[in-house]
Amino acid sequence: MDRLKKTGMKLTPQRMAIVKHLDGNKSHPSAEDIHKAISPKFPSMSFATVYNTLESLKDNGLIKELTIESGKKRFDPDISDHHHLICTKCRKIVDLPEDISMPQPALASAGMIKGFRILSAQINLYGICPGCSRTDS
Amino acid sequence: MDRLKKTGMKLTPQRMAIVKHLDGNKSHPSAEDIHKAISPKFPSMSFATVYNTLESLKDNGLIKELTIESGKKRFDPDISDHHHLICTKCRKIVDLPEDISMPQPALASAGMIKGFRILSAQINLYGICPGCSRTDS
DNA sequence: CTGGCTGCAAATCTTTTGCATCCTG
DNA sequence: CAGGATGCAAAAGATTTGCAGCCAG
């Protein structure tokens, strides 16, 4: 919340609600998830506001946008250098434990490849989660 | 094309046109790109056919679906274990040279993490391409 | 007060679906 | 000839946009 103030963004009630909802949230919510979650408190809040706010938060480095699911954006308040496991069956998204984290993102975030100045890396591992494995086989 | 036949999929003219268009294609086209490219030859071809065909090709392991851009699916006929560099400015997508490829995908494709049975890995490196760098700074 | 933010509604873009018809195997 | 594939059109889902009015700083 302090970090929000530091960005110079205006502290509107809607924004604060969104930030509060995201804080510590490990569910990697989509814009719709967020809108739905906050609707009870701000029934009039529009999608435009949600998208605008998420865009601003992203620009200010307070959240990350994940490109994990083809159809929709997801957002992650955890801006640390981590990656994700996605269950292709139930679509659950889980943070990848740091100790399995990769040396390459380091390489990537520092370096140049093919003349590209690399700014960030996103690693998605797709598989079947324990729950779905059980149902499966 | 032989590989297409082996899948048992029916060899309709539309499908063959799509497969031919994708063969060796390094542009990571979206469904719309593909539809547009083939329209001149099959003006009547519908999006449903494009999507159905891409889905079938994917199910049969002839192409990969990339989740690189939030709003849309992209497809890659190169099914080898490789990854991508994306210019955040001009949205260009480039294959990551194999020699920079990561040891982890190997780990991932073999292993189990957090109880997940890992099936595939996708690594996206985001940055600024040489062309945009020049314009930039 | 003023510029940034909000709400609303319409528009856009991508993908999916239902169904009648067609055509490959 | 049967079942899968196609074309069409409508629907669904996600995101964007324009604009008038509002409110935090």
Q: For residue range B85-126, what is the model confidence (pLDDT) as tens digits?
A: 999 888 899 998 765 555 555 556 556 778 888 888 888 989
Q: CB-based contacts with strand C under 7 Å?
A: A 9-10, 12, 14-15, 42, 44-49, 52-53, 56, 70-71; B 10-13, 30-32, 47-48, 51-52, 55, 71-73
**Contacting residues for A107 by C-beta, under 8 A, at least 6 apart:** none
**Nucleotides in chain D with any atom closer than 7 Å to protein CB:** 4-10, 13-19, 23-25
Minimal CA separation from B16 to chain A, in Å: 25
Domains, in order of start, for chain B: 1-79 (1.10.10.10), 80-137 (3.30.1490.190)
* Residue of higher predicted confidence among A119 and B103: A119
The DSSP-derived string for B13-51 is HHHHHHHHHHTT--S--BHHHHHHHHTTT-TT--HHHHH
pLDDT of res. B97: 72
For residue B120, the chain A residues in CB contact (below 8 A) are 125-127
Long-range contacts of A7-14 (CB under 8 A, 24+ apart): A7/A56, A7/A60, A7/A62, A9/A56, A9/A57, A9/A60, A13/A42, A14/A38, A14/A42, A14/A45, A14/A49, A14/A53
pLDDT of res. A113: 77
pLDDT of res. B99: 58
Q: Kindly state the average pLDDT of the residues B4-17.
A: 95
Q: Kindly state the average pLDDT of the residues A62-75.
A: 93
Whether B6 shows a pLDDT value over 70: the answer reads: yes
Average pLDDT, chain B: 88
pLDDT of res. A71: 81
- Give the rounded percent of residues in chain A with a pLDDT score beyond 90: 58
Q: Which of B67, B89, B128 to mutate to test the interface with A (most CBs of A within 10 A)?
A: B67
Whether A97 shows a pLDDT value over 90: the answer reads: no
pLDDT tens digits for range B127-136:
999 988 876 5
For residue A122, the chain B residues in CB contact (below 8 A) are 123-124, 126
DSSP A98: G
